[in-house]
Structure 1
Amino acid sequence: MEILGFEVPLWTILLTVFGIWLYKFLYSGFDVFAKRGIRTVKPIYPFVGNLWGIWKKDIRKWQEENVRRYGKFFGFYDGKTPLLYVSDPEVIKEIFVKKFDCFADHKLFSFGLDQNKYIRKFLFVINGEGWKEARSAVTPAFSSGKIKKMSSIMVECCDRMVESSRSVTKGSGIIELKDFFGKVTLDVIARCAFGTKLDNLDDPNNPFAVNSAKAFRPSLFDSGWSLIPELFPWTQIFGLEALISRDSIEFFVKTVEEVIKSRKADGSIGKRGDFLDVLLEEAEAEKANRAKDPNAKIVLDEEVLISQCVTFFAAGYDTVGTQLAMAGHYLALYPECQEKLHEELKIERGCTKSCEIKGLKFERGDTVVFPMWTIHHTEEYHPDPNTFDPERFAPENKSKLVPYTYFPFGQGPRICIGMRFASEQSKLSLGHLILSFKLSRCSKTSHPPKYEGNRIISMPKDLFVKIEERVEE
């Protein structure tokens, strides 16, 4: 074939056309941000966008580096899906609150398309009207009154933690904080979620501990294979898992089903006060309304009810355990802050020379604020390793905090529904520990903390400290 006076073989023309088509096919859609003058994370790869190698990264540091490199706004491609990162407080407020109607739904992760009927009903997966209805139905379980009832269960678990810790001090006294607080967190959630008292918490093969730890970290999570079910959700029908381990979810589903069956059999619904009990009561109330009004809607059907119990357990384990571990780590490094916390706790408990720690409940509410300053500071996940100053969260300094620069539980209508529960659990756990024990550096303490690679939650590791029982003067 002759082109511009030159004889060009047909195969050359076809190959050139195919090459142009292939290039456009592989890279089409990656100009969304460029067209709008928004800087974009580099490099961008065909199909996967910016996801290649993400499983190796510390997401916390990755985000910080990109903010420094690209500014308060930058684009990112999750496969071919464009995502805009925002770190400007005013714009964040617009998104979370003022323009919530435009940003009401969460990103549709691949597990939102999962064939598992329970995963599809997780509160953070549901979108649209379904989310609004489910959120309203579950909200009563986290009222102040319900949290207060659960608080007594938390205190029992914290007392149990203190007693078991005394045996640790008789040995080397060295503990790994993530593992340490993971046990009490597991105990609290199991008791408060569906009234199950766990034994053998020190057993690394405890099925509750194993399945909680891997619920949001399936077997493929640490390799490039994890991108397949994330980018091509239909592959999940072959058993591939993206961000959620379906085996772990199935374990919790069966556990909840067994507890429900047992409570219906012995007529104990409404007599326990835990999370499952509240939801079962709400579900019974919906059925009663339906009996009176055939048009009344049933929101808390079996799938939704079980899904929220599983979410409570699986999502609450790593989050609170990590928060407490970081708080313990920084208190060990800054003994003056730890002693101030201890003095506050003694005042709250009315401690004397022979004080008894059982029953610490912070009944005076906000009068003991230092425990929460400590927790708030470590909720940031990455306080300056050279500066630990919980007092920046003291009431008198509240006006100095820039709004929408600190929101560990989110903001707006989709703020974490379990926020008050998590705060109460954290306050009690940390309070009981510091009232009875002193944390300090040891030969295995590393600072700044090291973090695991790609995790949904920024996850510290190897947080070793020494624990010693306090002797009151």
Structure 2
Amino acid sequence: MIPYILIDWLFDSVVLSLFTVITIIYYLSTSTYDKWRKLNVQHIHPVPLFGNVFKMIMGLEDQITAFGRIYRRFPNSKICGFYQMRTPFLMIRDPELIDAITIKDFSHFTDHGLEFDPSINLLARSLFFANGQKWKVMRQKLSPGFTSGKLKCTNDQIKECSDQLIQFVDEKLSKQSDGFDVKEIFGKFTTDVIGTCAFGLKLDTITDSDSNFRKYLNEIFGNNFKQTCIMMLGMVFPKVVKFFKLRSFPLEASNFFYSVFTDVIDYRTKNSVVRNDLAQTLMEARKELVLNGDNATGDEKFTDLDIISNAILLFTAGAETVSVTAAFCLYELALNRDIQNKLRDEINSKNEKYGGQFTNEFLMDLHYADMVLEETHRMYSITVNIIRQATQTFKVPGMDSFIIEKGQKIVIPMSSIHHDPKYYPNPKTFDPERFTKEEKSKRPNSTFLPFGEGPRHCIGMYS
């Protein structure tokens, strides 16, 4: 009799314990899911733990599809709510409100709110991830590196890299007839351009099939399963990622670029090398913020790691974004021969006008080329969303008493807006004529956001 009683007791204990554990897990995974209901914000009912991004996390749909589905669900709303895993996000759909958040009332939304630990992720110290005063100071120090005057000085270097690219393509075409990877070739080209123009590095990546620069760039931006899992875990339990010091960026790649840019700065400093480039801007920032920055303390204090982190960001992000845009642009030109011919005619005409000289005046006069690139940016946005976090409580204009609380994460669905027929009829059609002055004047502000908007727009927007 006693053994049966003991078995029953153990069984009941196991069932009770299992029920308790499941209840706790369920509570923790759904405890945030009443926020939008309480605030009477339209939202999609979330799935426990995964929120409204289950298919995206499972790899069943990409980000564009996932966020586009949420965007289209509430076509008449200025805002809507959703849950990225357990985190409540507010999606901003209205261009006028986007304009307020990114420009007019930017002081309420200065931070991206991306949580990466700078002690284990070097890129977390860079401009893109920095918040508050540290972002503001670094932005001010780096902006002089992107003036029109400095960019004009790079024309000869870009032409040299372009000539090398054309020679490489000609040789490729003479040896094979089955095509080649345009994105990879442009990746090599942009790596060489940024290497020489911004950092004075002669990389010859175009002809070097074993370039470490390309290898580690691909590691940072590639679809690595381990890194994807860490990013997913960070969405649900950021404290776990921080506790176990899990790296969101490959360590070997970070170490490689850290070594390269440290050597560049050390060499220039020791040999008194001065060039009118981005590396010089970083060195001047280092002098002011690190070597002479005695007043800063704690998290506001700058170190050499901050300077190197920004060098890595500007190099890697610049090379990758330009190569991807160029690849998509060529893809659309190949599909649309009439646009290709019109663009070629403009380039040939302007080339003759300026005597075959690759000057800033020649580039600024390529108006149709600008329209082609803008349409490429619209159709193939490099990033899907703009992320912000409220740094102050914000009363939403025109929405009675609705308030965005301090700390609330928001999403501006850039790609979804770029494909909204309300602003861009037949959005799947590649049509540069959307970007004539007349057509642009018909659209509301903040409906074309490939580089973001306001004080926190991409620092390389005009380069």
Whether TM exceeds 0.5 here: the answer is: yes
Of residues 54, 76, 80, the one that matches 1:74 is 80
Of residues 224, 227, 234, the one that matches 1:219 is 224
Q: In the superposition, relative to structure 1, how do residues 14 and 210 fare at CA in structure 2: closer, same or farther (>3 Å)?
A: closer
Aligned AA for 2:280? D
Aligned AA for 1:409? F
- How many angstroms apart in 2 are the aligned matches of 1:226 and 1:364? 44
Deviation (angstroms), 1:374:
0.4
Deviation (angstroms), 1:79:
3.2
- How many angstroms apart in 1 are the aligned matches of 2:44 and 2:219? 30
Does the CA-based 8 Å contact 1:193-1:309 persist in structure 2? no
- How many angstroms apart in 1 are the aligned matches of 2:155 and 2:272? 24
- How many angstroms apart in 2 are the aligned matches of 1:116 and 1:218? 20
Q: What TM-score does the superposition give when structure 1 sets the normalisation length?
A: 0.75
Of residues 89, 113, 125, the one that matches 2:95 is 89
- How many angstroms apart in 2 are the aligned matches of 1:36 and 1:363? 54
What's 1:407 paired with?
A: 449
1:183 aligns with 2:225: no
Deviation (angstroms), 1:23:
3.7
1:32 aligns with 2:21: no
Deviation (angstroms), 1:299:
7.4
Deviation (angstroms), 1:96:
0.7
- How many angstroms apart in 1 are the aligned matches of 2:73 and 2:256? 43
Of residues 440, 449, 462, the one that matches 1:398 is 440
Ranges of 4+ aligned residues in structure 1 off by more than 4 Å: 10-22, 221-226, 236-239, 285-290, 294-301, 382-386
Aligned AA for 2:106? F
Aligned AA for 1:276? A
1:315 aligns with 2:317: yes
Deviation (angstroms), 1:193:
2.8
What's 1:431 paired with?
A: none
Unmatched 5+ residue regions in structure 1?
A: 1-9, 422-473
What's 2:399 paired with?
A: none
Deviation (angstroms), 1:26:
3.1
> What secondary structure, in the 3-state scheme, does the structure 1 residue paired with 2:225 have?
coil
Deviation (angstroms), 1:196:
1.2
Deviation (angstroms), 1:45:
2.4
What's 2:56 paired with?
A: 54
Aligned AA for 2:64? R
Of residues 248, 256, 260, the one that matches 2:253 is 248
Does the CA-based 8 Å contact 1:213-1:317 persist in structure 2? no
- How many angstroms apart in 2 are the aligned matches of 1:196 and 1:145? 21
Aligned AA for 1:59? Q
Does the CA-based 8 Å contact 2:188-2:206 persist in structure 1? yes
What's 2:413 paired with?
A: none
Q: What TM-score does the superposition give when structure 2 sets the normalisation length?
A: 0.77
Aligned AA for 2:335? L
* Cα deviations by residue, 1:338-368 (Å, 9 ceiling, x for unpaired): 111111111221179xx86xx4234155432
Does the CA-based 8 Å contact 1:40-1:75 persist in structure 2? yes
What's 1:378 paired with?
A: 376
Unmatched 5+ residue regions in structure 2?
A: 1-11, 381-418, 420-425
Of residues 106, 111, 123, the one that matches 1:119 is 123
What's 2:350 paired with?
A: 348
* Cα deviations by residue, 1:425-468 (Å, 9 ceiling, x for unpaired): xxxxxxxxxxxxxxxxxxxxxxxxxxxxxxxxxxxxxxxxxxxx
Deviation (angstroms), 1:278:
2.4
> What secondary structure, in the 3-state scheme, does the structure 2 residue paired with 1:208 have?
helix
- How many angstroms apart in 2 are the aligned matches of 1:258 and 1:15? 57
Of residues 227, 232, 236, the one that matches 1:231 is 236
- How many angstroms apart in 2 are the aligned matches of 1:397 and 1:83? 33
Q: Where in structure 2 are the equivalents of 1:327-366 lying within 5 Å?
A: 327-350=329-352, 359-364=357-362, 366=364
Q: Percent of counterpart pairs with the same letter? A: 30
Aligned AA for 1:215? I
- How many angstroms apart in 1 are the aligned matches of 2:435 and 2:457? 20
Deviation (angstroms), 1:256:
0.2
Q: In the superposition, relative to structure 1, how do residues 16 and 64 fare at CA in structure 2: closer, same or farther (>3 Å)?
A: closer
- How many angstroms apart in 1 are the aligned matches of 2:226 and 2:432? 35
What's 1:45 paired with?
A: 48
Does the CA-based 8 Å contact 2:168-2:206 persist in structure 1? no
What's 1:158 paired with?
A: 162
Q: In the superposition, relative to structure 1, how do residues 173 and 390 fare at CA in structure 2: closer, same or farther (>3 Å)?
A: farther
Q: In the superposition, relative to structure 1, how do residues 70 and 385 fare at CA in structure 2: closer, same or farther (>3 Å)?
A: closer
What's 2:197 paired with?
A: 192
- How many angstroms apart in 2 are the aligned matches of 1:239 and 1:315? 24
Q: In the superposition, relative to structure 1, how do residues 13 and 385 fare at CA in structure 2: closer, same or farther (>3 Å)?
A: closer
> What secondary structure, in the 3-state scheme, does the structure 2 residue paired with 1:420 have?
coil
- How many angstroms apart in 1 are the aligned matches of 2:267 and 2:199? 11
Aligned AA for 2:198? A
- How many angstroms apart in 1 are the aligned matches of 2:177 and 2:146? 40
1:264 aligns with 2:269: yes
Counting matched residue pairs gives 400
Aligned AA for 2:128? F
What's 2:402 paired with?
A: none
Aligned AA for 1:31? D
- How many angstroms apart in 1 are the aligned matches of 2:156 and 2:301? 30
Q: In the superposition, relative to structure 1, how do residues 410 and 245 fare at CA in structure 2: closer, same or farther (>3 Å)?
A: same
Aligned AA for 1:399? S
Question: RMSD between aligned alpha carbons?
Answer: 3.2
1:210 aligns with 2:215: yes
Q: In the superposition, relative to structure 1, how do residues 287 and 38 fare at CA in structure 2: closer, same or farther (>3 Å)?
A: closer
Of residues 278, 299, 319, the one that matches 1:275 is 278
Does the CA-based 8 Å contact 1:137-1:300 persist in structure 2? no
Aligned AA for 1:196? L
- How many angstroms apart in 2 are the aligned matches of 1:90 and 1:316? 30
Does the CA-based 8 Å contact 2:103-2:455 persist in structure 1? yes
What's 2:429 paired with?
A: 387
- How many angstroms apart in 1 are the aligned matches of 2:301 and 2:20? 55
